Amino acid sequence: MGEQLYDIIIVGGGPAGLSAAYSAWQNGAKEILVLERDREAGGILQQCIHNGFGLHHFKEELTGPGYAQRCYDLVKDKPEIKILVDTMVLNIGQDKTVTAVSPEHGLMKVKGKTIILTMGCRERTRGAIRIPGYRPAGVFTAGAAQRMVNMEGYLPGKKIVILGSGDIGLIMARRMTLEGCKVQAVLEICPFSNGLTRNMVQCLYDYDIPLYLSHTITAIHGKDRVSGITAAKVDDHMKPIPGTEFDIDCDTLLLSVGLIPENELSRGLGIAMHPLTNGPIVDQHRETSIPGIFAAGNVVHVHDLVDFVSEEAEIAGKYAALKAQEQLPEDVADIAVEAIDEVRTCVPQHVRATAEGETIRLFMRVRKPMKKVRLTVKSGDDTLLTKVLPVAKPSEMIAVNVPAAKAKGHHADWTVSVKEEA
């Protein structure tokens, strides 16, 4: 395969990549290449066999594989879209040359007028959270265990402890129970759960699985195989409190302790990264600091709903397609969007305003769980949007639109604030 020129090269064929490809196609891109390292497209959805996906995006409740199938069906028979699976991207050059390797094509170089980064994220591991103790078999990330149980047909163990109450941890607590395993406990270092409420109810309460908030693991026992763990209560600084330790028997420990956007390729390119999202800094079109390179989905910031991933990827796909066709409207101002007060992160981090103005959708996460908060978007001293939300949680991304009529002409830097109402 020679160095072929594409309108758009999309790195990663998960929900973000497939949604970006479809949107780029809808917006006139003619040569679209999707590179996927797994044996099929669909990404992590293929192992998320539970339901609850797609209510926003497809207006229907779907399973993960069902959602992936929908995304795939939209792109599969389009002659303008080529999907290469079993293909690992090794490098992306500043000139938008992509070097990739696959068993079928060997080492290949392709070039894009634009590139969309949709590599998703990966799980934090035991090393990332530094649990002391032996290194026996039986310690898995929850996602690795999910792939084993749902796709490959193995059970990682029979008696399970789960560290971390994020959604994957909760979903796996139920999944292991349905497969006949005993889930001994879920431990969470925060004083609140980091998963969706519906998952707390359906995955833990339904099966009487104990949840220990403000607890962590201080030791893993077992030499060849995990034989148990020691748990302890933590103080306000998340430090274990001496004297509160107790042991739990188990043969398997699953870790659901956070996700990290997978940005080795982005860093190799020298793209400006945000220290809190761990993803590229993007404008409202999801264009990164390098012109013509876009990013969307979990590689930008970790989402809790795939529906929002698709939505964001459609934005990236559209504007990458317009850029490739040299139809991207010229911008007249570069406005910073700053997260303040209880807003921890906000994407996009800046807006390239056009003369006509456009609706700007903001995705944000708050620092702590709160009830009755006021969300305010300001440009300088002018309020662009303000509304009261009944609840705000770190685990649930908040999305709001600043309408075009409001956004237009407001070129002083923006602030996005969430504050508890008195």
Partner 1 sequence: MSVETKQLNCINCPMGCLLTVTLEDGKVTNVTGNTCPRGETYAHQELTDPQRMLTSTVSIEGGELPLLPVVSKTTLPKGKILDCAMALRSVHVKAPVKTGDVIVKDILGLGVDIVASRDM
Report, in Å, the least distance between residue 259 CB and partner 1.
17
Q: Note whether 41 and 13 are within 8 A (CB).
A: yes
Tell me: does residue 342 bind partner 1 (CB under 8 A). Answer: no
Residue number with CB closer to partner 1 (393 or 410): 393
> Among 305, 321, 335, 366, which residue sits at the site for partner 1 (rule: CB under 8 A)?
305
> Among 196, 253, 290, 375, which residue sits at the site for partner 1 (rule: CB under 8 A)?
196
What's 241's DSSP letter? Answer: P
> Among 1, 201, 355, 405, which residue sits at the site for partner 1 (rule: CB under 8 A)?
201
Tell me: does residue 202 bind partner 1 (CB under 8 A). Answer: yes
Report, in Å, the least distance between residue 246 CB and partner 1.
28
Tell me: does residue 103 bind partner 1 (CB under 8 A). Answer: no
Report, in Å, the least distance between residue 167 CB and partner 1.
9
10 Å Cβ neighbour count for 247? Answer: 12
10 Å Cβ neighbour count for 413? Answer: 16
Tell me: does residue 356 bind partner 1 (CB under 8 A). Answer: no
Residue number with CB closer to partner 1 (79 or 153): 153
Report, in Å, the least distance between residue 222 CB and partner 1.
28
Q: Which span sits near partner 1 by CB under 8 A: 172-180, 328-336, 341-349, 373-381?
A: 172-180
Give how far Cα 149 sits from Cα of 154, 168, 278, 392, Å: 5, 13, 29, 33
Residue number with CB closer to partner 1 (52 or 280): 52
Please, which of residues 9-68 interact with partner 1 by CB under 8 A? Answer: 39-40, 46, 49-52, 55, 61, 63-66, 68
Please, which of residues 357-376 interact with partner 1 by CB under 8 A? Answer: none
Residue number with CB closer to partner 1 (158 or 198): 198
> Among 177, 184, 284, 376, which residue sits at the site for partner 1 (rule: CB under 8 A)?
177
Q: Which span sits near partner 1 by CB under 8 A: 131-139, 194-202, 230-238, 404-412?
A: 194-202
Query: For residue 225, what are the contacts with CB-CB under 8 A and spacing of at least 6?
Result: 136, 137, 138, 251
Buried b (16+ CB within 10 A) or exposed e, 173-203: bbbbbeeebebbbbbbbbeebbbbeebbebb
Q: Which residues pair with 344 in a beta bridge?
A: none
Tell me: does residue 200 bind partner 1 (CB under 8 A). Answer: yes
Tell me: does residue 178 bind partner 1 (CB under 8 A). Answer: yes
Residue number with CB closer to partner 1 (184 or 193): 193
Helix (H, G, I), strand (E, B) or coil at 34: strand
Tell me: does residue 272 bind partner 1 (CB under 8 A). Answer: no
List own/partner pairs for 191-195 with CB under 8 A and 24 or more apart. Answer: 192/369, 192/393, 193/165, 193/395, 194/164, 194/165, 194/166, 194/167, 194/394, 194/395, 195/165, 195/166, 195/167, 195/169, 195/170, 195/395
Interface contacts to partner 1, rule CB under 8 A: 39-40, 46, 49-52, 55, 61, 63-66, 68-69, 149-153, 177-180, 196-198, 200-202, 206, 304-305, 390-391, 396
